[in-house]
């Protein structure tokens, strides 16, 4: 049985002190959640978050991982480093990484492989730009990104992957995709996965929606048959707001 997964992507927010406070506030509010609850915090907050979530149902995530096990890659972090800090999930290929830091389908694929080979679970992000949507290219773009990210990954690898569909124009803009649009695009993603891995594997894959998801729209989005969770930016930075999404 697959379980919905709501993950907070804190992006570049929260110091150690703030991390401690936010998790302390959040834990009691989400303790009865039916879904899996994850917080993806900045690297520097991982150890603090690891301590703060002890004894709770909150799981720990990071926001990127390098493809090499170690070496001369200034500014990067390896899967083993994350594992040591008890990280379970890692976001890969977020549109902000693709837009501002040159992340490509190939680098997303390499990072994803490294993550799952090391025993981490990957939250792989895909999503179209506004121009692409307006040009009617949404399906083409997300299918290309999905195929690229999953290249060379077998069925057992797929089990360690969650896909997050985040239309770029909906991120941080307050403009959410309609529940129907999100559902339709996620169905397209699932169809692409079915082509690669078959029906059962595609059905078992969890696909999240992300992009201005919040306390107000979470239940409508989560009610859609194809949507298995959410990747939450802004609304994950306040305990009360994030808890409302988790308890949709």
The residue among 60 and 213 lying less far from ligand 13P, judged by its C-beta, is 213
Q: How far is the CB of 162 from ligand 13P (least distance, A)?
A: 12
The residue among 105 and 166 lying less far from ligand 13P, judged by its C-beta, is 166
CA distances, 184 to each of 104, 139, 180, 189, 225 (Å) = 24, 10, 6, 9, 10
Q: Give the residue at shortest CB distance from ligand 13P.
A: 233
Rounded CA gap, 66 and 236, in Å?
25
Looking at the chain, list the stretches that DSSP marks H as alpha helix, in order from N- to C-terminal side.
16-30, 46-52, 79-84, 95-100, 105-117, 130-134, 138-150, 155-158, 179-197, 199-204, 218-222, 239-246
What angle is formed at CA 95 by the lines to CA 215 and CA 197, rounded to 5 degrees? 90
Neighbours of 179 (CB within 10 A): 17
Nearest to 29 by CA among 247, 178, 209, 237: 247
Annotated catalytic residue 94: yes
Q: How far is the CB of 222 from ligand 13P (least distance, A)?
A: 14
The residue among 45 and 166 lying less far from ligand 13P, judged by its C-beta, is 166
Catalytic, out of 36, 94, 103, 128? 94
Catalytic, out of 36, 103, 132, 166? 166
User: What residues line the site for ligand 13P (CB under 6 A)?
Assistant: 9, 94, 166, 171-172, 210-213, 231-235
Q: How far is the CB of 210 from ligand 13P (least distance, A)?
A: 4
Rounded CA gap, 22 and 26, in Å?
6
Annotated catalytic residue 66: no
Q: Do 180 and 219 form a contact (C-beta atoms < 8 A)?
A: no
Q: Name the β-bridge partners of 112.
A: none
Residues known to be catalytic? 94, 166
């Amino acid at each position: 049985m697959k379980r919905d997964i709501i993950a907070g992507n804190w992006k570049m927010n929260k110091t150690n002190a703030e991390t401690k406070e936010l998790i302390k506030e959040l834990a009691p509010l989400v303790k009865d959640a039916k879904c899996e609850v994850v917080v993806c915090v900045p690297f520097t907050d991982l150890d603090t978050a690891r301590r703060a979530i002890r004894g709770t149902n909150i799981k720990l995530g990071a926001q990127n991982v390098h493809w090499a096990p170690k070496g001369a890659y200034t500014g990067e972090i390896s899967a083993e480093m994350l594992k040591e800090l008890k990280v379970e999930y890692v976001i890969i290929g977020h549109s902000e990484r693709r837009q501002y830091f040159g992340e490509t389908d190939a680098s997303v694929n390499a990072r994803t492989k490294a993550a799952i080979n090391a025993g981490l679970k990957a939250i792989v992000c895909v999503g179209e730009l506004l121009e692409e949507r307006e040009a009617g290219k949404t399906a083409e773009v997300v299918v290309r990104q999905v195929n690229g990210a999953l290249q060379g990954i077998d069925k057992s690898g797929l089990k360690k992957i969650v896909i997050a569909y985040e239309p770029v124009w909906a991120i941080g803009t307050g403009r959410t995709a309609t529940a129907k649009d999100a559902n339709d695009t996620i169905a397209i993603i699932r169809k692409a996965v079915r082509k690669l891995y078959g029906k059962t594997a595609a059905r078992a894959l969890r696909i999240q929606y992300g992009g201005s998801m919040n306390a107000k729209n979470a239940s409508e989005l989560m009610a859609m048959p194809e949507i298995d969770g959410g990747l939450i930016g802004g609304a994950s930075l306040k305990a009360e707001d994030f808890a409302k999404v988790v308890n949709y």
